């Protein structure tokens, strides 16, 4: 689960990581109230959306007077912010962070993530922090340093010294850097984070370190034991189709392609997405209807897949176990009757009651394309999508 920058900074503040003084605003009136309290300029006006790259998209602006704060805020609040991370559709800005500006001597990158290779937490840092970190990672990866932490031993002072040394931090900032890393590590493990990213961590003219930006993600499977984190969830930032799917207990993740797919079982769903890609097409979603799905869930699955206007074809790939093929077939027929399916549907099913399932589909009068096996299904989807180009 993602949270907003202003919420992440509040958590940092509570954990003694220095952040600039700032307040969240939901309206222009609130912006003015906050600006009137500001001690000195510049002030930074920052769009709060669940995506990075806001600076590049015009969602982070400096202002040098109360009037300028208001003018900047008026432009950003309500705008559709398009950044390299939002996709072309962008995200509507509904909140702003109005923050005390900081004089920047240097921008560093600092993050903590799980590292599957070492089965621990890795601290990543770079002297080349700021808005071009993706370019640094792609072109000069040697500028990103990594310090692995053994989860059983926890963070040690040598981890901090190594990172500080590799970054070439000035002596004045090292003590503060150690404290920041220790606090972040504690926050990460205590709250079951999956990522903490501070980009930039800045060094000011007076050699003070500040977290100028903060992105924190949480492991959703652990949220049951962090009620206070769950309260930070902002439903307005959720993908509307994913939110609807969650209400129907469907495991759906929207993707960018044009082949919708409905599968039972997460492993089979992953394999099916691979097969769609190998056929030269791109999946429009991940959808696991679950082992125990009924006809109604299949119908809901179809409805959600079809709400995505990118979908040009659907691949149904079901291995009938607990979800029997005849139940699936009834679901497809029901869905076709209740919702208008206007794209080709390729069905591959195998397993319990497959003959009955095939008969239900054949007798339904629907124009379905049946596939004998996975390879056949992939070829059929590939040629449908290939024919669209
Ligand atoms: P992002 O683009 O979504 O990652 O948003 P950031 O919060 O990282 O802001 C983007 C950039 O704005 C930073 O890399 C800084 O260069 C700049 N910026 C943010 N806050 C301040 C500030 O207080 N003072 C100055 N001078 N620049 C800032
Ligand atoms: Mn940033």
Name the β-bridge partners of 313: 259
Q: Would you state the pLDDT for residue 88?
A: 83
* Cβ contacts of 321 within 8 Å, gap of 6 or more: 264, 291, 351, 352
Confidence category of residue 341, pLDDT binned at 50, 70, 90: confident
Q: Which CATH number fits the domain that encloses residue 111?
A: 3.30.470.20
The position carrying tokens 């370019």 is 135
pLDDT greater than 70 at residue 340: yes
109 is catalytic: yes
Q: Which residues line ligand 1 (CB under 6 A)?
A: 44, 46, 52-55, 60, 62, 101-102, 104, 107, 130-131, 199-200, 212-213
- If one counts every other C-beta atom within 10 angstroms of the C-beta of residue 302, the result is 25
Atom 6 in ligand 1: residue holding the nearest Cα: 213
Gap between the Cα atoms of 185 and 237, Å rounded: 27
Q: Would you state the pLDDT for residue 338?
A: 86
Q: How many helices (H) and strands (E) are present in the chain, helices listed first?
A: 14, 18
Asked whether residue 254 is assigned to any structural domain, the reply reads yes
Residue 266, domain extent? 240-388
Residue 162 contacts residue 168 (beta carbons within 8 Å): no
Gap between the Cα atoms of 155 and 153, Å rounded: 7
Structure tokens at 40: 């000195």
pLDDT greater than 70 at residue 285: yes
Cα–Cα nearest to 94, from 26, 46, 32: 26
pLDDT greater than 90 at residue 290: no
Q: Would you state the pLDDT for residue 357?
A: 93
Q: Would you state the pLDDT for residue 41?
A: 92
197 is catalytic: yes
Gap between the Cα atoms of 64 and 387, Å rounded: 56
pLDDT greater than 90 at residue 257: yes
Residue 282 phi, psi dihedral angles, 5° rounding: -125, 130
Asked whether residue 145 is assigned to any structural domain, the reply reads yes
pLDDT greater than 70 at residue 21: yes
C-alpha 202 – ligand 1 centre gap (Å) = 10
383 and 264 share one domain: yes
Tell me the per-residue pLDDT of 58-100, one tens digit each, with 9 for 90 and over: 999 999 999 999 999 999 999 999 999 887 889 999 999 999 9
- Total number of domains constituting the chain: 3
Asked whether residue 15 is assigned to any structural domain, the reply reads no
DSSP 223: G
Catalytic residue among 6, 108, 109, 252: 109
Q: Would you state the pLDDT for residue 146?
A: 95
Q: Would you state the pLDDT for residue 87?
A: 79
Residue 130 alpha carbon, nearest atom of ligand 1 = 14
212 and 272 share one domain: no
Q: Would you state the pLDDT for residue 323?
A: 85
251 and 215 share one domain: no
Sign of CA dihedral 354, 359, 361, 362: positive
Gap between the Cα atoms of 215 and 50, Å rounded: 9
Sign of CA dihedral 38, 5, 91, 224: negative
C-alpha 225 – ligand 1 centre gap (Å) = 33
Q: What's the mean pLDDT in 151-164?
A: 93
Tell me the per-residue pLDDT of 299-311, one tens digit each, with 9 for 90 and over: 899 999 999 999 9
- If one counts every other C-beta atom within 10 angstroms of the C-beta of residue 165, the result is 12
- Helix, strand, or coil (residue 342): coil
Mean pLDDT of the chain: 93
Q: Would you state the pLDDT for residue 224?
A: 96
pLDDT greater than 90 at residue 103: yes
Mutate to test the pocket of ligand 1, among 7, 60, 132 (most ligand atoms within 8 A of CB): 60
Structural domain ending residue among the three candidates 100, 133, 160? 100
Q: Would you state the pLDDT for residue 312?
A: 94
156 and 215 share one domain: yes
Asked whether residue 340 is assigned to any structural domain, the reply reads yes
333 and 206 share one domain: no
Q: Which ligand is nearest to the CA of 44?
A: 1
Cα–Cα nearest to 382, from 309, 275, 260: 275
72 and 122 share one domain: no
Asked whether residue 5 is assigned to any structural domain, the reply reads no
- If one counts every other C-beta atom within 10 angstroms of the C-beta of residue 334, the result is 16
Cα–Cα nearest to 160, from 183, 179, 174, 178: 178
Residue 43 phi, psi dihedral angles, 5° rounding: -115, 145
C-alpha 199 – ligand 2 centre gap (Å) = 4
C-alpha 265 – ligand 2 centre gap (Å) = 37
Atom 10 in ligand 1: residue holding the nearest Cα: 55
Q: What's the mean pLDDT in 336-360?
A: 91
Tell me the per-residue pLDDT of 209-251, one tens digit each, with 9 for 90 and over: 999 999 999 999 999 999 999 999 999 998 889 999 988 989 9
375 and 324 share one domain: yes
The position carrying tokens 């089965």 is 119
Q: Would you state the pLDDT for residue 389?
A: 63
Structure tokens at 233: 């969830």
266 and 339 share one domain: yes
């Amino acid at each position: 689960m993602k949270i907003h920058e202003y919420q992440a900074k509040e958590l940092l503040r509570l954990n003694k990581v220095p952040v600039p003084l700032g307040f969240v605003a939901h309206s222009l009136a609130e912006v003015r109230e906050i600006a009137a309290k500001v001690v000195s300029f510049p002030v930074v006006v920052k769009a709060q959306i669940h995506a990075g790259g806001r600076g590049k998209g015009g969602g982070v602006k400096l202002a040098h007077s109360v009037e300028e704060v208001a003018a900047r805020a008026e432009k950003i609040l309500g705008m559709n912010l398009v950044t390299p991370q939002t996709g072309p559709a962008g995200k509507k800005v509904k909140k702003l962070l109005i923050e005390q500006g900081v004089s920047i001597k240097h921008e560093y990158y600092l993050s903590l993530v799980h590292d599957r290779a070492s089965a621990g937490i890795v601290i990543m840092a770079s002297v080349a922090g700021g808005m071009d970190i993706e370019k640094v990672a792609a072109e000069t990866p040697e500028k990103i340093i990594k310090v692995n932490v053994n989860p059983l031993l926890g963070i040690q002072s040598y981890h901090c010294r190594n990172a500080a040394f590799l970054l070439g931090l000035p002596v004045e900032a090292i003590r503060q850097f150690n404290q920041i890393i220790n606090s972040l590590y504690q926050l990460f493990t205590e709250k079951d984070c999956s990522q903490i990213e501070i980009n930039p961590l800045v060094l000011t003219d007076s050699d003070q370190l500040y977290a100028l930006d903060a992105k924190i993600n949480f492991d959703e499977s652990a949220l049951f034991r962090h009620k206070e984190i769950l309260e930070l969830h902002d439903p307005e930032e959720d993908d509307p189709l994913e939110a609807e799917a969650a209400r129907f207990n469907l495991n759906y993740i929207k993707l960018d392609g044009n082949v919708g797919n409905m599968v039972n079982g997460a492993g089979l769903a992953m394999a099916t997405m691979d097969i769609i890609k190998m056929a030269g097409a791109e999946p429009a979603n991940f959808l696991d209807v679950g082992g125990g799905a009924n006809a109604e869930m299949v119908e809901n699955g179809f409805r959600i897949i079809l709400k995505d206007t990118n979908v040009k074809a659907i691949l149904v790939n079901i291995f009938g176990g607990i979800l029997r093929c005849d139940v699936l077939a009834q679901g497809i027929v029901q869905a076709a009757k209740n919702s208008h399916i206007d794209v080709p549907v390729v069905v591959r099913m195998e397993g319990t009651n497959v003959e009955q399932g095939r008969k239900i589909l054949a007798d339904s009068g629907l124009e379905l394309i049946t596939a004998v096996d996975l390879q056949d299904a992939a070829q059929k989807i590939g040629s449908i999508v290939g024919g669209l180009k």
